[in-house]
A and B are shown apart, each in its own frame.
Chain A
């Protein structure tokens, strides 16, 4: 449906995209809308220009007013030129292609964008990326790897702590941080500290069970 309406608006672009894979098509659509939305800065791209959007994001000319920003994410350093309005979430997703952190509400209410800054969990959608230079940023991509999952990730799998998965990266980032926060032993206390992560599928019970299993195995003397 979205693809259809978009192709009506940009027939030439859609012809170009015709032989593309779905992923390539969608990523180009994203670029087209990005350019359209920044049209007041860049000047509206003509349809031909929109069709000729380069394959790689990096090849896009810098936005007018972009500032140099150096970020450290998952132990890697990145030197970027970004619009000062860029949130940390958008920077991670659109510039660094670390798409594990999700955009849900974009207003700090759902927790899908949760990342760690110097070990503390934060809503990356409310962070201006340029303010986090010199900080150690950790995303879901830096928490575990296939074959070497973080105990919280393993517990989420073992306890079926997700359904659609959209909120899961944020849930896991919150849960990993919770392990080092002051939190009482009860389920109610875990629920309270996880209240900044919304799950529309309603996997809450299994999320709490997953977190509690890791907390209890980390201190077997108390788990009794």
Chain B
């Protein structure tokens, strides 16, 4: 691990001022905020991240989960994944989020990892993690070793010729289906970004993963009020039964009226370069009966633009079946 200077921010202004001195908030950032450390310390040990300064933000007052007057929920950026997963309001109104969180990592890591940290979780692509290998995300312009290499776990949606790395987070997939909003405080004040706009596609700049700029501090994530009568579910398929990243996952939020689906929100994990919301699948479901044929159409629509690599063609079918099964389960209980 490269050496660094460690400081502690006692208020958000201190953290923002410290972070603003970096030239980027993306790959290669010289200054990093640190909280749970589960991702950052791991990458620092690998020399994938080599910040010169770390700003400890664990003492900032963003550690609360609060019901909002409109019936929605505010989740502080510092709220630990386990506390969020087990919170009674989350379990009752946003089951998909609780299930997604509990399907990720281990109990120890969930006790450490924060909401904002999970939003910023980096890919598990082995070439990104290995500094001996070319990787456009880690070292722009060096090439992508995954496209011609071992790519079984990597993305089939949202890829570019420069990067096929998967966003590994389960929480992000649930937040995409729940239409969460990310609240950011920076040098120019506060702003809110819908989760769909927060993560960027790799395109020509895979080293840029989010809209964050130097000094930007995520303060909270808000969820809209649950749609009346909506049921939600997270289904994750993986090589191991536990403590493993998704090969394919589906977050579904569905409202039924009689046998008909009146509202559907669908997001896929394990297959996209960002948490993959599918308005195409939602359109196929809305106003339709909850039948296998309709689920099939939705799944086909969600994966229509899939571009499999040499080793991950199976993910197209796996993701379809994952989504169809999730829809079957959630409409059965609805």
- Residues of A at the B interface (CB closer than 8 Å) are 41, 65, 67, 83-85, 87, 106-108, 111, 114, 120-123, 126-128, 130-131, 174, 177-178, 181-182, 191-197
Contact = CB atoms under 8 A, between A and B. Distances in A.
Contact of B112 (A65, A67, A107, A126): A126
Contacts of B242: 191-192, 195
Interface residues of B, number: 26
Across the A-B interface, give the 8 residue pairs with the lowest CB-CB distance, nearest first: A196-B106, A195-B242, A195-B243, A84-B6, A120-B111, A126-B41, A196-B108, A123-B108
B106 A85 contact: no
Interface in B99-116: 105-109, 111-112
B107 A130 contact: no
B37 interface: yes
Nearest to A114: B108
Contact of B38 (A84, A126, A182, A191): A126
Interface string B1-22: 1011110000000000000000
B42 interface: yes
B108 A128 contact: no
A125 to B, nearest CB: 8
A174 B108 contact: yes
Nearest to A125: B41
Contacts of A83: 3
Contacts of B108: 108, 111, 114, 121-123, 174, 196
A126 B111 contact: no
Contacts of B3: 41, 65, 83-85
Interface string B24-51: 0000000000100110011001000000
19 contacts: A65-B3, A84-B3, A84-B5, A107-B42, A107-B45, A108-B108, A121-B111, A122-B112, A123-B38, A126-B41, A127-B37, A131-B37, A174-B108, A181-B107, A182-B86, A193-B107, A195-B242, A196-B105, A196-B107
A131 B34 contact: yes
A127 B112 contact: yes
Contacts of A65: 3
A147 to B, nearest CB: 29
Nearest to B42: A107
Identify the interface centre among A126, A182, A194: most chain B CB within 10 Å of its CB: A126
Given A83-B3, A131-B58, A195 B106 contact: yes
Nearest to B4: A84
Contacts of B284: none
B56 interface: yes
Which of B56, B108, B112, B242 is most buried by chain A, counting CB atoms within 10 A of its CB? B108
A130 B243 contact: no
B45 A131 contact: no
Given A123-B109, A126-B112, 14 more contacts: A84-B3, A85-B1, A87-B41, A107-B42, A108-B38, A108-B108, A122-B112, A174-B107, A177-B107, A181-B82, A193-B107, A195-B242, A195-B243, A197-B106
Contacts of A196: 105-109, 243
Nearest to A181: B107
Contacts of A122: 108, 111-112
Contacts of B37: 126-128, 131
A196 B112 CA distance: 13
A174 B82 CA distance: 14
Nearest to B38: A126
Contacts of B56: 130-131
Contacts of B1: 85
Given A128-B41, A131-B34, A108 B6 contact: no
B6 A67 contact: yes
A108 B121 CA distance: 15
Contacts of B111: 120-122
A22 to B, nearest CB: 30
Nearest to B243: A195
Given A108-B109, A193-B107, A130 B42 contact: no
B135 to A, nearest CB: 18
A106 B108 CA distance: 14
A84 B52 CA distance: 12
A134 to B, nearest CB: 10
A23 to B, nearest CB: 28
Contacts of B109: 108, 123, 126, 196
Candidate in A65, A85, A106, A174 with the most chain B CB atoms within 10 angstroms: A85
Interface in B64-92: 82, 86
A128 B107 contact: no
